[in-house]
Amino acid sequence: MTGTTLPGADYLAHDATGLSELVRRGEISPLELVETAIARIERMNPRVNAVIHRMDESARQAARAPLPEGPFRGVPLLLKDLIATVAGEPFRCGSRFLASYVAPHDSELVRRYRRAGFVLLGKTNTPEFGLTPFTEPALFGPTLNPWDPTRTAGGSSGGSAAAVACGMTPVATGGDGGGSIRIPASCCGLFGMKPTRGRTPTGPDFGEIWHGAVVEHVLCRSVRDSAAILDATAGPDPGAPYAAPEPARPFREEVGREPGRLRIAFTDHPWLGHEVDAECSAALRDTAHLLESLGHQVEEASPELDGRGFARAFLTMICGELRGDIEEAETVLGRRATAADFEPATWALGLLGRASSASAFARAIRSLQRTAREIAPFFDRYDVLLTPTVSRPPVPTGALQPLPAERLLLELLGGIGSGRLLRAAGVLERTADKVFDFIPWTPVINATGQPAMSVPLGWSREGLPLGMHFVGRYGDEATLYRLAAQLEVARPWANRWPAVAAA
């Protein structure tokens, strides 16, 4: 193939593994791939607002220079603008407070992406500090769903999901602290694996993030890309507080390997919310029938947990961690933060974190850890648990934001600076209830540290994606990858594209 770009149909026909094979065979150059991706960003991004910082010239320079002989040599990659730092490039985390901050070094995971041969192309949109399951930061504006621009792309890796769903790049990175890879994968019709806690590195700036709830990986279209990228990036870095169990073989070798007859439980009982849309329940039961047809033992069952207690503990943990983030940012920037530097809900959560006692924070962490202990025995009986990824099809943009009156109250109480008054008002609890109604399953699996994936197996009557959520035993991504590959063959999704991708 010749020319400065790859024809659109050819580019979309290949996943990252396929594009790297074209480079290896000399059929296309890394620079041609980069130019193709840049051209697609030029056309697609104004429609979805996925990419908020471009690195065109540095990507071109990297593509012209000798690249590492890694498994993804020459493939363009977009990075979520949260946790993943690139030396000399902005690192804003969706926040006005960090609007002028430039990262001093690459994060360890970014170094591994470079060693794998990826060419870094830009940064993608994220909600402020990655706090919400929708991507609507005041700093950059909302990311829109490529399947319906009136709907959410999910969050907090919504920018990455929208970019991949449009075919800007075949893969983009994400981080998952409460479902933030799986939720946007579901909303945008992608494959998204949350690896086991400690599987990918968090250094050099972090040991654990959100007490081990957060793990980074990618959103993509093929199971083999997810597995091969995890092979290229997994493993602890110096000073890591813990590491995931070593796999028996490379994850890429699990793709296509027979999963055997698995014991699979399924449930649409919402652990944290109150109700589940009928279309999500129907897609769940359709998936259960598909699994049965593939020879698996499938039955309805669910672990039991105190959903309200979990939600309260999870919110307490996030408030404390966020307050720490704000104060560390103050130190780095050399100035005090004010309410004007943040979105009202973010500032209010930080005030609650400041008002909370150390003992309340410790009790919340212990409560989350007890949840993991309570759920683990369930996986003595079952190999995999299946739920919908989210409780309903992608919601309209803005639907999960505080109501105007609630926002005004947050602004007023935030201006006063009283976490105690905010707690008494109960506004954040009502907002949190609305959010947990949308994501009643995913945050629990961040607390347990287990691997889980969203697989694009269902579609609503309006043609919107409905991801199915599979949870494996701690350390057992292998079973999930084997099962995902089997489902990818049984019900292919790679050739389903939103109309905007062909525009």
Q: Is 167 exposed, middle or buried (0-12, 13-18, 19+ CB in 10 A)?
A: buried
Spatial separation of the C-alpha atoms in residues 236 and 364, rounded to whole Å = 27
487 within 8 A of 206, measured Cβ to Cβ: no
| Residue 180: active-site member | yes
93 within 8 A of 129, measured Cβ to Cβ: yes
| Residue 156: active-site member | yes
- Residue 156 preceded by cis peptide, ω within 30: yes
180 within 8 A of 133, measured Cβ to Cβ: yes
Those residues whose C-beta lies under 8 Å from the C-beta of residue 409, and which sit 6 or more positions away, are 425, 427
Count CB neighbours of 212 within 10 A.
22
Q: Is 459 exposed, middle or buried (0-12, 13-18, 19+ CB in 10 A)?
A: middle
CA 170 to chain centre: 15
Among the options 20, 107, 156, 367, which is catalytic? 156
Spatial separation of the C-alpha atoms in residues 17 and 338, rounded to whole Å = 46
**Residue in 230, 227, 180 with CA at minimum distance from that of residue 200:** 230
Among the options 20, 95, 160, 180, which is catalytic? 180
Spatial separation of the C-alpha atoms in residues 77 and 170, rounded to whole Å = 8
Helical H runs in 49-188?
Answer: 56-64, 108-115, 158-166, 182-188
Spatial separation of the C-alpha atoms in residues 337 and 348, rounded to whole Å = 13
Q: Where are the beta strands (DSSP E) in 273-354?
A: 297-300
Collapsing DSSP to helix, strand or coil, 170 comes out as coil
Spatial separation of the C-alpha atoms in residues 455 and 478, rounded to whole Å = 15
| Residue 80: active-site member | yes
Which residue(s) pair with 220 in the sheet? 171, 191
Among the options 80, 107, 226, 391, which is catalytic? 80
Angle between helices 344-355 and 307-333 (to 10 degrees): 100
DSSP letter at 156 equals S
Catalytic residues: 80, 156, 180
